[in-house]
Amino acid sequence: MNFQNLLLEQPETGVYLLTVNRPRALNALNAATLAELTQAIAAVVADSAARVLLLTGAGEKAFVAGADIGEMQSLTAAQAQAFSEAGMRVMHALEALPVPAIALVQGYALGGGCELAMACDWIIAADSAVFGQPEVNLGIPPGFGGTQRLARLVGRARALELVTTARQVRADEALAIGLVTQVVPAAALRDRGLELARTIAAKAPVAVRLAKQAVHRGLDVDLGNACAQETAAFALAFASADQREGMRAFLEKRSAKFSGQ
């Protein structure tokens, strides 16, 4: 697909690399970029051979430095709601993606950029990464899910501290508070992402999809219902060719060849 503000590539079989490509604007999210992100994510969903999505930003200065303030400045309240809803659709689509989505963050991930990274299943950060929700400096709260996803990742009190002070968090602190799962040298970020994607792509696709679904859905209900959902996912896997191949390969002491069926 051809985009004005994105690059969508397949560096390896089953692995998609989606790059926000507005380096002169520090990859800021404007309405056009949000629309293209929705299209790109839909393209990954439509590909039954997709196994992992890696999401990053062009250049070394920023993953995504935020939403496009120049575009937002003159919005009416009704237009601001529509802009927020467009951003929310992107974030929800990332979470609903049937395959794991991993953010590879270098440089600034602020405001909408932090929100975009948090909508992925987890974040690998370069040692140059800086995170934050600085919207209160502009007279607004976060609008793409930042208040909610940040609290779920780092806890209510810490999320409120970061949102209300607009304090920025460097990679080492982001790792310590649970915002990111790993920090690597900036030069190794892409390679680490591809290495991880390669590992996931080699696993049973049906099981990976069911596991992601169970984790996401289970967090929204009480433990009893969450475990019931896991039981349903476990049972459903036994109707798949992947389950039969995985267990047969284990007993035959060979590597499994999964079909995703």
CA distances from 192 to 73, 183, 185, 257, 259 (A): 38, 10, 10, 24, 25
**Which candidate in 60, 115, 173, 195 is catalytic?**
115
**Following DSSP, what letter does each residue of 107-166 receive, concatenated?**
SEEETHHHHHHHHSSEEEEETT-EEE--GGGGT----SSHHHHHHHHH-HHHHHHHHHH-
In the numeric block, which tokens belong to residue 98?
């049937």
Could you give the CA distance from residue 50 to residue 48 in angstroms, rounded to a whole number?
6
In sequence order, what are the beta bridge partners of 132?
110
Alpha helices (runs of H) in the chain, residue ranges in sequence order: 31-46, 69-72, 77-96, 112-119, 146-154, 156-165, 171-176, 189-201, 205-218, 223-237, 241-251
**Which candidate in 12, 135, 161, 173 is catalytic?**
135
Neighbour-count burial of 232, counting CB atoms closer than 10 A to its CB (0-12 exposed, 13-18 middle, 19+ buried): middle
Whether 135 is catalytic: yes
Q: Which helix (H) or strand (E) holds 170?
A: strand 169-170
In the numeric block, which tokens belong to residue 236?
């459903």
Phi, psi of 93 (to 5 degrees): -65, -40
Whether 173 is catalytic: no
In the numeric block, which tokens belong to residue 144?
């793409």
How many beta carbons lie within 10 A of that of residue 110, not counting itself? 24
Active site residues: 115, 135
